[in-house]
Each structure stands twice: as C-alpha cells, then as structure tokens.
C-alpha cells in the first residue's frame, strides 16, 4: 500500500511516516514512480512505533528494541551481542517500572472518579 493508505490505517500522518523512515524505523520499498510501497505487516509496526513514541521513548531506543518485539522472536536470534542484551534488559526493567507506576495512577484516578460520583449522588 502507499503512504496515504497506511496513514489512514494507522492514524499516523504521512509526514510522520516519512520521518520514521528517516530514523530507520521503517524501510518501505519504492515503486518505479518513486512512491513508497508499504507491506501489510508494517501497519502493526507503525502502531507499535506510535505506542512507544507516545510513551516518551525516543526513536533511537525504538530502533534498537523494535526488532525484538515481534511475536516470531525465534527468528532473529543469531548474534550474542552482550551490549544489546544489556539494553534489552534495561528496557525490560523500565517497562516493569512503567507498568507499576501506571497501575498506581490508574487506581488513584479510579478512586477519585468514584469519589466524585458518590459525592454527586449524595449531594444532589
């Protein structure tokens, strides 16, 4: 598919898709036109990129961990790079931290909203 369709499917503007390419996160083929041609599996990839970006993770890190986030992980394991491993472990630990942090916030918001609702029900 071309850039417009991918943009629609992922809700990521073409401008950003080109930017991700510039950052090495996606590498679409080119048609004879020069038009970018995206494979279907990139839809998922772009969504993943957006999620990570929204979470404040910079493209540099995203580029490093993205190949490791596929469900078919068995494929890509062939270089026992200890540096890569360290970085993955680091990001893994950060994920755990983030989860704990968000769970707290989720619960706190939950409580607060409930309290609001109860106050509204009572106060009426």
Partner DNA sequence: CTTGACCTTCACATGGGTGTGATAGTCAGA
Partner DNA sequence: TCTGACTATCACACCCATGTGAAGGTCAAG
Using CB under 7 A as the criterion, which residues of the chain lie in contact with DNA when the complex forms?
A: 2-5, 7, 13-16, 18-19, 23, 31-36, 53-54, 58-60
CB nearer to DNA: pick between 4 and 119: 4
Q: Of DNA, a copy of itself, none, which one sits near residue 41, judging by CB under 5 to 8 A according to partner kind? A: none
Burial class of 2 by CB neighbour count within 10 A (0 to 12, 13 to 18, 19+): middle
CA distances from 72 to 39, 46, 52, 77, 111 (A): 17, 17, 19, 10, 39
Helix (H, G, I), strand (E, B) or coil at 37: strand
**41 is a site residue for a copy of itself (CB under 8 A):** no
Show the binding pattern over residues 66-95: x = contacts a copy of itself (CB under 8 A), - = does not. --xxxx-xx-xxx-x---xx--xx-xx--x
**Of the listed pieces 13-21, 25-33, 36-44, 104-112, which binds a copy of itself according to CB under 8 A?**
104-112
Q: How many CA atoms lie within 13 A of 91 on its CB side?
A: 19
């Amino acid at each position: 598919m071309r850039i417009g369709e991918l943009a629609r499917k992922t809700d990521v503007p073409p401008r950003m898709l080109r930017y991700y390419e510039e950052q090495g996160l996606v590498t679409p083929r080119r048609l004879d036109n020069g038009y970018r041609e995206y494979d279907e599996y990139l839809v998922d990839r772009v969504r993943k990129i957006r999620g990570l970006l929204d979470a404040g993770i910079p493209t540099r890190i995203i580029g490093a961990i993205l190949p490791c986030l596929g469900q078919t992980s068995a494929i890509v394991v062939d270089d026992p790079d200890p540096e890569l491993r360290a970085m993955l472990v680091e990001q893994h630990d950060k994920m755990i931290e983030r989860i704990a942090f968000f769970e707290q916030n989720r619960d706190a918001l939950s409580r607060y909203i409930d309290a609001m609702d109860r106050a509204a029900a009572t106060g009426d």
